[in-house]
Structure 1
Amino acid sequence: MSARDRVLAVLNGEVPDRVPVDLWLVPELVQKFKTQLGVNDELDIYRQLDIDKIVWLGIPYKGVLLKDPNEHASVNHWGVKHQKIAANDETGYGEVCFNPLLELDSVEQLDAYPWPNPDDFDYETAAAEAKKISQEFVTLGPWISIFEVYCQMRSLEEALMDTVAEPEFLHAALDHIAGVQGEMCRRFLEAADGAIDLVFISDDMGTQQSLLMSPSAFDEFIFPRLRQWCDMVHSFGAKVFFHTDGAAAPLIPRLIDAGIDVLNPVQHVCPGMDCRELKEQYGDRLVFHGGVENQKILPFGTPEEVAAETFQCLETLGPTGYLPCSCHFAQADTPIENIMAMIKTVQQY
Structure 2
Amino acid sequence: MKPRERILTALRRQAPDRMPWTLGLTPAIQKTFERKTGAKSPETFYDFDVRGVGPRPALTPPDFSRYYEGRNFTGPVALNPEWGFAQVSPDPNSHFAHRESPFGDRPFTVEDAETYPLPDYESPSRYEGVEETVRAWRDRGYAVRYIQGFGTFDYSWLIRGYEPFLADLATEEEAALRLMDRVSDAIASVLKHMAAHGADIVGFGEDVGTQKALIVSPDCWRRQFKPRFKKIVDAAKNANPAVLFFYHSDGQIREIIPDLIEIGVDILNPIQPECMDPAEIKETFGDRLALWGGVGTQTVMPFGTPEEVRACVQRLFRAAGRGGGFVCAPSHVLEPEVPWENVEAFVAACQECVYGFR
Question: TM-score, normalized by length of structure 2?
Answer: 0.86
Letter in 2 for 1:310: V
Structure 2 counterpart of 1:5:
5
Letter in 2 for 1:2: K
| CA separation of 1:92 and 1:114: change in aligned 2, threshold 3 A | closer
The 8 Å contact of residues 84 and 92 in structure 1, kept in 2 or not, is answered as: no
Structure 1 counterpart of 2:37:
37
Alpha-carbon deviations, 1:97-135, whole Å to 9, x = none? 333375243212321223332255621144433333333
Matched, 1:240 2:236: no
1:163-182 matched pairs, under 5 angstroms: 163-182=169-188
Please report how far the alpha carbon of residue 220 of structure 1 lies from its aligned counterpart in structure 2 after TM superposition: 1.3
Letter in 2 for 1:347: Q
1:209-224 matched pairs, under 5 angstroms: 209-224=212-227
Structure 1 counterpart of 2:335:
331
Alpha-carbon deviations, 1:285-344, whole Å to 9, x = none? 000000011112101211011111212222221132111110111123322221121122
Secondary structure at 2:35's aligned position in 1? helix
| CA separation of 1:115 and 1:43: change in aligned 2, threshold 3 A | closer
The 8 Å contact of residues 188 and 236 in structure 2, kept in 1 or not, is answered as: no
Q: Distance in 2 between matches of 1:61 and 1:102?
A: 30
Secondary structure at 1:15's aligned position in 2? coil
Matched, 1:111 2:108: no
1:137-176 matched pairs, under 5 angstroms: 137-143=142-148, 144-176=150-182
Q: Distance in 2 between matches of 1:56 and 1:27?
A: 18
Structure 1's unaligned 5+ residue stretches are: none
Please report how far the alpha carbon of residue 251 of structure 1 lies from its aligned counterpart in structure 2 after TM superposition: 0.8
The 8 Å contact of residues 142 and 199 in structure 1, kept in 2 or not, is answered as: yes
Q: Distance in 1 between matches of 2:283 and 2:273?
A: 14
Structure 2 counterpart of 1:131:
135
Q: Distance in 2 between matches of 1:128 and 1:37?
A: 30
Task: Give the fraction of aligned pairs with identical amino acids, expressed as a percent.
Answer: 28
The 8 Å contact of residues 67 and 74 in structure 1, kept in 2 or not, is answered as: no
Secondary structure at 2:57's aligned position in 1? coil
| CA separation of 1:183 and 1:11: change in aligned 2, threshold 3 A | same
Q: Distance in 2 between matches of 1:173 and 1:166?
A: 12
Q: Distance in 1 between matches of 2:179 and 2:306?
A: 46
Letter in 1 for 2:79: V
| CA separation of 1:181 and 1:100: change in aligned 2, threshold 3 A | farther
1:313-328 matched pairs, under 5 angstroms: 313-319=316-322, 320-328=324-332
Matched, 1:346 2:350: yes
Secondary structure at 1:118's aligned position in 2? coil
Secondary structure at 2:315's aligned position in 1? helix
Q: Distance in 1 between matches of 2:51 and 2:28?
A: 18
Letter in 2 for 1:20: P
| CA separation of 1:136 and 1:333: change in aligned 2, threshold 3 A | farther
| CA separation of 1:7 and 1:297: change in aligned 2, threshold 3 A | same
Letter in 1 for 2:247: F
- Selected match of 1:64 from 61, 64, 77: 61
Q: Which moved more, 1:216-225 or 1:332-341?
A: 332-341
Alpha carbon RMSD of aligned pairs, Å? 2.4
Structure 1 counterpart of 2:90:
85
Matched, 1:46 2:46: yes
Please report how far the alpha carbon of residue 223 of structure 1 lies from its aligned counterpart in structure 2 after TM superposition: 0.7
More contact order relative to length (CA 8 Å, sep ≥ 6): 2
The 8 Å contact of residues 205 and 248 in structure 2, kept in 1 or not, is answered as: yes
| CA separation of 1:28 and 1:137: change in aligned 2, threshold 3 A | farther
Letter in 2 for 1:202: G
The 8 Å contact of residues 95 and 335 in structure 2, kept in 1 or not, is answered as: no
Q: Distance in 1 between matches of 2:254 and 2:12?
A: 24
Q: Which moved more, 1:219-228 or 1:181-190?
A: 181-190
Matched, 1:276 2:283: no
Please report how far the alpha carbon of residue 136 of structure 1 lies from its aligned counterpart in structure 2 after TM superposition: 3.5
Q: Distance in 1 between matches of 2:342 and 2:219?
A: 41
| CA separation of 1:199 and 1:104: change in aligned 2, threshold 3 A | farther
Q: Distance in 1 between matches of 2:15 and 2:268?
A: 19
Q: Distance in 2 between matches of 1:26 and 1:140?
A: 20
Please report how far the alpha carbon of residue 259 of structure 1 lies from its aligned counterpart in structure 2 after TM superposition: 0.8
Structure 2 counterpart of 1:16:
16
